[in-house]
Structure 1
Amino acid sequence: MGIAVYGGIGYNILISLTDYEGIGEPNFSNLDLEMYRTALADGAFREAVIHNFVLIVAFTTMSLALGLFLAILLDHGIRYKDKIQTIYLLPMALSFVVTAQLWLWMYNPSRGVVNVIITTFGFDSIDWLGNPRFALAAVILALVWQFSGYAMVVYLAGLQSLPDDQFEAAKVDGASPFRTYLKIIVPQLKESSVAAAVVLMLFALKAFDFLYALLGSYRPPTGTDIMATLMVREALQFGRWAYGAAIATMLLLLALGIIAPYLAYQHRQGSL
């Protein structure tokens, strides 16, 4: 673990302090932060960071909201509960590559089911993946479809851990089921929300393979470039290994910025 993981992370950080371009051996005699300054001055990098934050916030929020809604329906004892739970969990079993191919067919401008549906209602068909106005939204929708089932399971476990007498007491007091969930039950799902949100945000950071399989290029259409795609393109396509390593380091720091507060919270709660 120390050599393969932490050793690799350390070596990547060291490479990011050089001007290595993949030819010969790196020169470690003159280490500096030039690649980080280059990244901060690069418009493509700033755009990728913005897309990353939009992806994280929108994908996580929508997945949590849909997952909570589905969990409440299942907890409320709707018909075909087991079948619905299986249907919404199924996408979690699929890899990013399989999901990307599925949505690639669905987003087909001429024959995709998404455009077939919207044209049925009188709207014009949309080039979902080629139009910068819709490309990032299309990516977010596909990811929400795949991971809302995970949020549903987390919330359902939290709901089933709550005592039933809370529902009975609220019913005796005349509270409607909607008000009971809104005022009593949902506020008690804080730990479930935090745990699910952390995992979903980390999934959003690891969306490179999904974007590559969906869009078929290191350079996705304008409006969908994220730090991971920029990192791989700079290193593998352009041979700017030091610059790619600098982006990878900042991506690591972003991931630590997500997971570290959660670990600190768990420690305060006595769970670590």
Structure 2
Amino acid sequence: MRSKWSILPYLFILPNVTLYVVFIFIPILWVLYLSFTDFSILNAGEWAGLKNYARMFRDEAFTKAIVNTFIFWVCTVVPTMAFGLIIANLLNLKIRAVSLFRGSIYLPGVISSVAVAMTWLWLYDPIGGPINGMLEKIGLTGQNWLHDPSVALMSIIMVSIWAGIGFCMIIYLAGLQGIPDHLYEAARLDGATGFKQFVMITFPLLKPITFFIFITTTIRSFQVFDLVYILTSGGPANKTTTIVNEIIKNGFGEYNMGYAATQGIFLLLITFIITMINYYFTSSSSDFD
């Protein structure tokens, strides 16, 4: 029998679709249009064709920002996910005060990124900071963490990892608690060790969650701005500048909205490509039903 068509389901999703179109889809189209103009706050802008895109690929500062952003992405996403998974497995055990440990590790993830950056600005202080103080007590030389070109970017990466572990941990923990116990019991009866249980049961069943965490942490790493702005402002000598830093500088510092829009479209494409590549390799080895 042919089912009767009803408008009711579409009315339920209409609010979400409306919000998506108004606040995401239309702004993306507007930014795409601006990328082909020389629009700025000071003038209405004229059609510039591919001029902004040609300028972008010749811009040495933006090229450096791309390299820094990719380094930041590679050095933060994998360690953050790995530490989050390890800690989630440890805190999934029945131990005393486990809720206290979970809350303590998750806390940096809910604190304002500005507060996190200000805290680490004090910790990294080369004169009175606790990190250099501890290094000197054990006979090591302190570093100028945020002003030495050789360590500045890695210093920000360490802060990002520290702040992001809690998010990964809590999501992985939810996934671990959703895995049926009887699977582990059957594996133990077959003589599987703890590591083999993790490889054969835990990790495969966490693949959808791993995909979700990878995408969210990737977007977070490509959109990093506040940590960099507060800790180094992109310096020294553009060693820590990122794509978003360049977008903000060109758009709101130099009022060149058309060029900033072009860089924004580039960032959107890079994020989309990485997401699709990861989805392809993840979905090819796991079913997402």
TM-score scaled by length of structure 2: 0.83
Counterpart for residue 10 of structure 1:
29
The residue number in structure 1 matching 2:212 is 195
1:168 is aligned, of 185, 188, 192, to 185
Specify which of 32, 36, 42 is matched with residue 23 of structure 1. 42
Question: Does the 8 A contact of 1:51 with 1:225 survive in 2?
Answer: yes
Selected match of 1:64 from 54, 57, 81: 81
Equivalent residue for 1:223?
239
Give the Cα–Cα distance (whole angstroms) in 2 for the partners of residues 108 and 68 of structure 1.
31
Q: Secondary structure at the residue paired with 1:108?
A: coil
Deviates more, 1:102-111 or 1:184-193: 184-193
Q: Which runs of 5+ in 2 are unaligned?
A: 1-18
For residue 261 of structure 1, report the CA deviation from its aligned partner: 5.8
2:43 is paired with a residue whose SS is: coil
CA distance in 1, matches of 2:223, 2:24: 17
Structure 2 distance, partners of 1:91, 1:15, is 37
Which residue of the partner structure matches residue 140 of structure 1?
157
Structure 2 vs 1, CA of residues 117 and 171 (structure 1 numbering), >3 Å: closer, same or farther? farther
Return the offset for 1:78. 3.5
Match of 2:263 among 221, 244, 247: 247
Contact 1:109 1:125 in 2 (8 A): yes
Which residue among 186, 201, 221 is the counterpart of 1:184?
201
Distance 1:57 1:15, change over 3 A: same
Deviation at residue 126 of structure 1 after TM alignment:
0.6
| TM-score where L is the length of structure 1 | 0.88
After TM superposition, the structure 1 = structure 2 runs for residues 49-88 of structure 1, keeping only pairs within 5 Å, are: 49-88=66-105
CA RMSD, Structure 1 to Structure 2 (Å): 2.3
Q: How does 1:80-159 map to 2 (within 5 A)?
A: 80-159=97-176
CA contact (8 A) 1:212 1:220 kept: no
List alignment gaps of at least 5 residues for structure 1: none
Letter in 1 for 2:96: R
Could you tell me how far apart the structure 1 residues matched to 2:42 and 2:123 are?
Answer: 42
Shift of residue 159, structure 1, vs aligned partner: 1.3
Distance in 2 between the 1:49 and 1:140 partners? Answer: 15
Bigger radius of gyration, 1 or 2? 2
Contact 2:117–2:230 (Cα < 8 Å) also in 1: yes
